[in-house]
Amino acid sequence: MAKRTKKKKNLQGSVLLLAILVMAGVTAAGLGMANLLIKEIRQARTLDNAIVAYYAAESGIEDGLYHLRKEGYEVEDLVVEHQLENGAEWKRVAKKKEEGIFTGIEANQIIQFDVFNPQQSATGQQVATIQVDWNGDGSEWLEVTWLSWQGGSSLIGSPSKRLLSHALTGSRINLAVAGVSERSDFYRIRIRAMYSDVSDLSVTAFDSDGNVIEIPTIVVLSSIGKFSDTQQILKINMPLNSPVIGLFDYVLFIESSIIK
């Protein structure tokens, strides 16, 4: 009888130990699931905040575009902060990109820029030559086209054109128009990538003495959107003014009306 009682007590101790182990396992699994759920909730909240911060940054970019293109603000006046009604905020930084550097051009695509300051259209910069550099696989060609006109004159001459192969990268192009003794003050330049993509394209302007001339026609806008503890940054490069007159290779004439 004493042996049976002792065996029963040992069995009860084993059951108690097993129950404790099972409860510990369930608790650990529950804590793991809770920790996972908390991380998922935090990630979802961060994602929601990031979306709000992104649109806040985009709002700063759109606001800068409006004031630059429509209101005629100076680039220096675009550096500002703003608080939105939903609690988000954006901070904008703006500067002129003087070097005329572009990230690249896809095949058969075009970039167009002015080699003068559109906000000071009464005076030119006496540009004599431009230097074009780029990287590629060796099969690319660039078509460089430019228009020129004198300050105070509305007369625009015929476009000039030059083709550059990869072997000519780094060469300088004389912008002077043949038969014109007086150098033009203003130039509008278009560059087309032919046959293949071009990367790390840069354009540098020089005067007749070989000194580098700034090309203040590219504006860099950066906007930092912030909501709660999340930030998003947007950055764009754009011409100072909207393109008005393009450089066309041909003109189509039609007798009937054109409906847009």
Q: Domains of the chain, with CATH numbers? A: 99-215 (2.60.290)
Res 177: pLDDT: 54
Q: What is the mean pLDDT of residues 144-164?
A: 74
- pLDDT grade, residue 179 (50/70/90)? very low
Res 32: pLDDT: 79
Assess whether pLDDT exceeds 60 at residue 170. Answer: yes
Percentage of the chain modeled with pLDDT above 90: 12
> Which of these, 232, 230, 233, 234, lies nearest to 44 by C-alpha position?
230
Assess whether pLDDT exceeds 70 at residue 237. Answer: yes
Percentage of the chain modeled with pLDDT above 70: 71
- Cβ neighbours of residue 249 closer than 8 Å, sequence gap 6 or more: none
Res 181: pLDDT: 40
Task: Provide the Cα torsion 163, 169, 172, 174; round to 10°.
Answer: 0
Question: pLDDT tens across 56-91, in order?
Answer: 999 999 999 888 878 878 888 888 899 998 899 999
CA distance 162 to 142: 8
Three-state helix/strand/coil letters over the chain = CHHHHHHHHHHHHHHHHHHHHHHHHHHHHHHHHHHHHHHHHHHHHHHHHHHHHHHHHHHHHHHHHHHHHCCCCCHHHHCEEEECCCCCEEEEEEEEECCCECCEECCCCEEEEECCCHHHCCCCCCCCEEEEEEECCCCCEEEEEEEEECCCCCCCCCCEEEEEEHHHCCCEEECCCCCCCCCCCEEEEEEEEECCCEEEEEEEEECCCCCEECCCCEEEEEEEEEECCEEEEEEEEEECCCCCCCCCCCCCCCCCCCCC
Distances (CA, A) of 109 to 10, 66, 72, 105, 155: 86, 26, 29, 6, 28
Res 8: pLDDT: 54
- Which of these ranges, 46-55, 57-66, 148-157, 204-213, has the smallest mean pLDDT? 148-157
Res 180: pLDDT: 44
pTM (predicted TM-score)? 0.56
Question: pLDDT tens across 94-124, in order?
Answer: 887 656 666 688 888 888 777 766 555 544 5
Highest mean pLDDT among 108-117, 154-163, 181-190, 203-212: 203-212
Res 18: pLDDT: 75
Res 178: pLDDT: 44
